[in-house]
Structure 1
Amino acid sequence: MSKVKYYYDPDTLSYRKIEPKKSRRYRNIALFFIGSFLFGLMCLVFLMNTNLINTPRELSLQREVKNYELQFELLNRKMGQIEEVLANIEERDNNIYRLYFEANPIPEEQRRAGFGGVNRYKSLEGFNNSEMVIATTKRLDIIKKQMAIQSKSLDEITKLAEEKEKFLMAIPAIQPVTNESLKRMASGFGWRSDPFTKARKLHRGMDFSAPKGTPVYAPGDGKVIRADNGSSGYGKHIRIDHGYGYKTLYGHLSEYNVKKGQKVKRGDLIGFVGNTGRSEAPHLHYEVWKDEERINPINFYYGSLTAEEFENMLKYAAQENQSLD
C-alpha cells in the first residue's frame, strides 16, 4: 500500500493530503516498466552466455559436438592401428622384399616427409576444436602419403619379382639328357685327349653318351637362334639364346624338333642325340655360354640332380679322359 503524504496549509492552519499529478504517475509507471525491461534483458543476456540455461537447440548442438569429438577420438585410434600395420609393411619392404631383389631401401626421410609450402589447413582454423581437427587431418594426410609411397614400392617389387622369375626360368638349370637315358657322362669341361689327333685339347663343353635318338631337352626358357649343320665339327646342332647373357649349344644331333626363331620353355623336347659332325660315337656335346664365353655346364644342374647324382657327376667330369669330339 502506497504511503499517503500531507502538507501544512498556512491559510487554513491545517494539514492537507498531497494529490500526485497524473503525468508524474504515468512517468513513474513508464520508468518502472523500462527499468524492469532493461533488467530482464540484462539477465537474459547474462544467462544466455553461461551454461546455467540452454535452449533445446543448444543442447542438441552440444550433443553433436560431443559425438564428433568421440568420432575423432575413434578415428585417431584407428589411424594408430593403421600406422602400426604400415610400419610393419615398410620394415618388411626395406629389409626383406627390396633386399631380396637387390633394390635400394626407401629412405626413412622420404617415407615420413610432411607437406611444406602453403598452409593446407587454413580453412580449418578459427573454430573451437580447430586444433584437434587440424592435427587429425595432418595425420591422415601423412598416412595417405605413406600408403602411396608403399603402394608404388610394392608395384616396383612386383615388377622385380616378375623379372626375377623370368631370369630363373631362363637360366639353363637342368640336364639336357635325363639320367634314365644316359649310358654315362663321357667327358667333362677342361683339358682332354682329342679322339682323332690324340693331342691334349681344351674341351669346352660336356659329352653325354646316349643311344642315337635319345631325346634332348631345353634346360631353360629361350629362343632358338640356330638349328642347322653349318658349323664345322658340331654336325647337326641347335643354339638357344636364353637372354641375360646366357646361350646353350647342343651338338652332333640326329634330328631337330625345333626350328630357328622358335621360343622354347624349360623341359621342351628340342632334338635327338646323334653322331653327326666330328664325333666318335653317339653322344650329345653340350655347351653353356655366358657373355660370349664358354663356361663349365656342371655348375647349372641344380634343377634336375640329387646331391648324390651331382657328386657322381663331379667325379666323372674331373677325370682327364678322352672326349668324344
Structure 2
Amino acid sequence: MSNQLKQGPFKGHKSTTFGHMAKVKYYYDPETLSYQQIELRKRDKFKNSIIILLGVGLTMFLGFMVLSQFIESPKQKAQKRELENSKLHIELLGKRIEEVTEVLGDLQERDNYIYRTYFEANPIPDEQRKAGFGGVNRYKNLEGFDNSEMIIDVTKRLDVLSKQIVVQSKSLDEIVDLAKAKEKMLASIPAIQPLKAEDLTRMASGYGMRMHPILKIRKMHKGMDFTAPKGTPIYASGNGTVSRANRSATFGKVVYIEHGYGYKTVYAHMSKIGVKKGQTVKRGDIIGYVGNTGRSVSAHLHYEVHRNGVAVNPIYYYYGDLTPEQFLAMQKASEDEGQSFD
C-alpha cells in the first residue's frame, strides 16, 4: 500500500486517498498504526464554500445567458409586437400610395388629353411629372434601423407622389385660368342677332355684292341689313368696349364695339345712340335704336362683324339665339343679291 501514500498536511504524517473517495482525504498515524480522516480547517471550509457558490452562480449566469437567447422577456415581446405593427402600417401605407398613384395617373391622363387639349394648351411631359430627386442621399437618416429598406422605399414613393401632386395642382390652376379666359372669350365673340327676331320686319340684305340704293352700282356690302320700325332696340352681340359712338356721313349715328380676341362689330343708321365711347357693355345690353340716319333709304340696322381687321359674313355669328330652321331661313334670305338699304 506504500504506492498509495502521500505526504499529509502534518509533519511526519502521510495521507492517502482512495480511488472512489477522491473528495475525502486521510493520513496515516504511526502512533495508532491506522488511517485517520483529515479534518478541514474553518478557513478551508469557507474558501471551499465560496468556490462552490461562485461555481453555482457562474453556472446559473451562463445558463441564463443561454436561455435568454430562446426565451423573450415581456419587454422584448412588447418591442417585437410594436415592430411587427409598424411593419404592417408601412405595408398598408405602401398600398395606399399605390391607390393614390393610380387615381393621380388617371387625372394626369385626363388633364393632358382632355382639359389641356380643349383649352389648346401643351400637355405636360411625363419626364416633368414623374421626375425624381437628385443630389445627396436624402434618406441617410433612415438607414440603420429595423425595416430601414422598407421605410426608405415607402418614403421615396411618397416624395415622388407629393411632387406629382404639386405638378398636377399647378396644371389645374392653369386650366382654371384658361377656362376663365375661354369663358371670357366665348362671352365676347359676337353670337346673337343685334335685333330680336320678333322685332324684325325682315332681313333685307345680306353680306356680299349688292346693288347700292343710292349709287346704283354693284358694291360690296360688308354687313347685313335688318328692317325694323324706327326706335326698335339694338343689342350688343357680345361683351366688349365701345370704341366709337358718334355720327358719320355714311353710317349716320353709329356705334363700334371692340370685343377683343380680334373681333369688332358695327351698328349703323341709328335714330339714337344709347352708349358712350369707352363704356363697357355686355352681350344683350341696349346700345341704341333703329333709325334712318346717314346714307339710308329706310329705317333699318346695318350690322357688320370684323375679325382681325377684315369684314366677315355676320350670318355665322348668330348661333347664340337662332334655331337651325331660323338660321337656314336667314341664310337663304341673305343670298338674295337684290338691292341693299345703304
Query: Which TM-score bucket, shorter chain as reference?
Result: over 0.9
Identify the residue that residue 120 of structure 1 maps to in structure 2.
138
**1:283-303 residue CA offsets vs partner (Å, 9 max, x unmatched):** 100011111111111111111
CA distance in 2, matches of 1:160, 1:3: 103
Q: Equivalent residue of 1:25, what SS?
A: helix
Identify the residue that residue 263 of structure 1 maps to in structure 2.
280
The structure with the larger Rg is: 2
Q: In structure 2, which of residues 25, 47, 64 is the aligned counterpart of residue 5 of structure 1?
A: 25
Query: What amino acid is the match of 2:148?
Result: S
CA distance in 2, matches of 1:97, 1:222: 27
CA distance in 1, matches of 2:297, 2:340: 9
Identify the residue that residue 47 of structure 2 maps to in structure 1.
27
Q: In structure 2, which of residues 240, 255, 263 is the aligned counterpart of residue 238 of structure 1?
A: 255
CA distance in 2, matches of 1:17, 1:226: 141
Q: In structure 1, which of residues 268, 273, 280 is the aligned counterpart of residue 297 of structure 2?
A: 280
- Paired residues for 1:182-197 under 5 Å: 182-197=200-215
Q: Equivalent residue of 2:135, what SS?
A: coil
CA distance in 2, matches of 1:278, 1:265: 28
Q: Equivalent residue of 1:303, what SS?
A: coil
Q: In structure 2, which of residues 225, 228, 233 is the aligned counterpart of residue 210 of structure 1?
A: 228
Identify the residue that residue 5 of structure 2 maps to in structure 1.
none
**1:257-294 residue CA offsets vs partner (Å, 9 max, x unmatched):** 21111111111111111000000111100011111111
Superposed displacement of residue 146, structure 1: 1.0
Identify the residue that residue 172 of structure 1 maps to in structure 2.
190
**1:115-137 residue CA offsets vs partner (Å, 9 max, x unmatched):** 11111111110011111111111
Q: Equivalent residue of 1:105, what SS?
A: coil
- Paired residues for 1:67-216 under 5 Å: 67-216=85-234
Correspondence 1:38 to 2:58: yes
Identify the residue that residue 227 of structure 1 maps to in structure 2.
245
CA distance in 1, matches of 2:123, 2:65: 64
**1:52-72 residue CA offsets vs partner (Å, 9 max, x unmatched):** 322222222222222222222
Q: In structure 2, which of residues 250, 259, 269 is the aligned counterpart of residue 252 of structure 1?
A: 269
Q: Equivalent residue of 1:82, what SS?
A: helix
Identify the residue that residue 36 of structure 2 maps to in structure 1.
16
User: RMSD of aligned C-alpha atoms?
Assistant: 1.7
Superposed displacement of residue 11, structure 1: 4.9
Q: Give the unaligned 5+ runs of structure 2.
A: 1-20
Q: Equivalent residue of 1:252, what SS?
A: strand
Q: In structure 1, which of residues 30, 50, 55 is the aligned counterpart of residue 73 of structure 2?
A: 55
Q: Equivalent residue of 2:116, what SS?
A: helix
Query: What amino acid is the match of 2:106?
Result: N
Q: In structure 2, which of residues 320, 323, 328 is the aligned counterpart of residue 303 of structure 1?
A: 320
Query: What amino acid is the match of 1:123?
Result: N
- Paired residues for 1:288-299 under 5 Å: 288-299=305-316
Query: What amino acid is the match of 1:45?
Result: M
Superposed displacement of residue 105, structure 1: 0.9
Query: What amino acid is the match of 1:232?
Result: A
Query: What amino acid is the match of 1:262?
Result: Q
CA distance in 2, matches of 1:16, 1:179: 146
TM-score, normalised to structure 1's length? 0.94
Q: How many residues align?
A: 322
CA distance in 2, matches of 1:118, 1:56: 41
Superposed displacement of residue 8, structure 1: 2.8
**1:6-46 residue CA offsets vs partner (Å, 9 max, x unmatched):** 23334543222222344433332222222222222223333
% same residue: 57
Q: Give the unaligned 5+ runs of structure 1.
A: none
Q: Equivalent residue of 1:159, what SS?
A: helix
Superposed displacement of residue 2, structure 1: 9.5
